[in-house]
Amino acid sequence: MPAPANPIKAALRRGERLDGLWLTLVSPAVAEIAGRAGFDWCVIDMEHAPATLPLVQAQLQALAGTPAAPVVRVPVGDEWVLKQVLDLGAQSVIVPMIHDAASAARAVAAVRYPPRGRRGMGAALARAGGWGATADYAATADAQICLIVQAESAQALHNIDAIAATEGVDVVFIGPADLAADMGHGCETDHLAVVAAVDHIVARTRAAGKAAGIITFDPKLIARYAAQGFGMIGVGADCTALRLGLESLVRVASLSRQQPS
């Protein structure tokens, strides 16, 4: 039995656009709700959320019963953490802070088995290999891994052609906030220089034949990014959606207090 097909990788190869949500509340229940809401993918975030490996596994298990495909963003691109996340069953991973071709190549090697990479041979004892039931997992896993590298620095902007050309990189995902900060513009993701940098990264990524991704919390930008050809668009986060939903509910309740009895 081979490794299961990766729906994200297959859809991106067909040129489809996939919309997703960031999961930062580290809750399997929230992951399941988000997965059933209609998103194409959900990111289990380990970089800016307190997600331990057991909680990553619990969220992967929660998403497994939903239409949404799981993605895990690791905190760093080190081999040990990528190895553990892949063994938990993640097939799509985001590696942050990729600044050049060398760091992109290290990420590629970390998610592939020898001789093409350096991933440790432990999946037969883990969820990824069905705890030994998926006999052909190691022989077929590489082809189903979707490696998403984040370009979110001035250095990455300078090196975007080399990063996008790195064999084994499937998606170059822009981190607008970190990119703006590293370019010296603080939180101004709408600064003209940052907008130009985003435009340049997506254009060069697509020219290299790779999919581009980005996240936005501004609904008005979704159509713009879609028109630019982004293959993956993050349209928000669980914590933000919960806050906005609760604030809206409070406003509705407050209005009733102002109505005459």
Residue 91: half-sphere exposure toward Cβ, Cα within 13 Å:
24
pLDDT tens for residues 109-128? 999 999 999 999 998 899 99
Distance CA 204, CA 208 (A): 6
Q: What is the pLDDT of residue 256?
A: 81
Q: What is the pLDDT of residue 261?
A: 60
User: Token pair 């490794």 is at which residue?
Assistant: 3
- Phi first, then psi: what are they for 193, rounded to 5°? -70, -35
Full DSSP string of 206-230: HHTT-EEEEE-S-HHHHHHHHHHT-
Residue ranges in the chain whose pLDDT is less than 70? 259-261
Cβ–Cβ < 8 Å for 147, 107: yes
Distance CA 247, CA 171 (A): 35
The amino acid occupying position 99 is H
Residue 11 neighbours by CB distance under 10 Å: 19
- Phi first, then psi: what are they for 18, rounded to 5°? -125, 130
- Is 48 part of the annotated catalytic residue set? yes
Q: What is the pLDDT of residue 131?
A: 95
User: Token pair 């907008």 is at which residue?
Assistant: 195
User: Token pair 């990528």 is at which residue?
Assistant: 82
Distance CA 154, CA 182 (A): 6
Q: What is the pLDDT of residue 48?
A: 97
Which of 48, 99, 158, 200 is flagged as catalytic?
A: 48
Domains and CATH numbers, the chain: 7-258 (3.20.20.60)
Is the four-CA dihedral 139, 75, 7, 70 of positive or negative sign?
positive
Considering the entire predicted model, what is its pTM?
0.96
Crossing angle, helix 238-258 and helix 28-36, to 10 degrees?
A: 80
Q: What is the pLDDT of residue 260?
A: 65
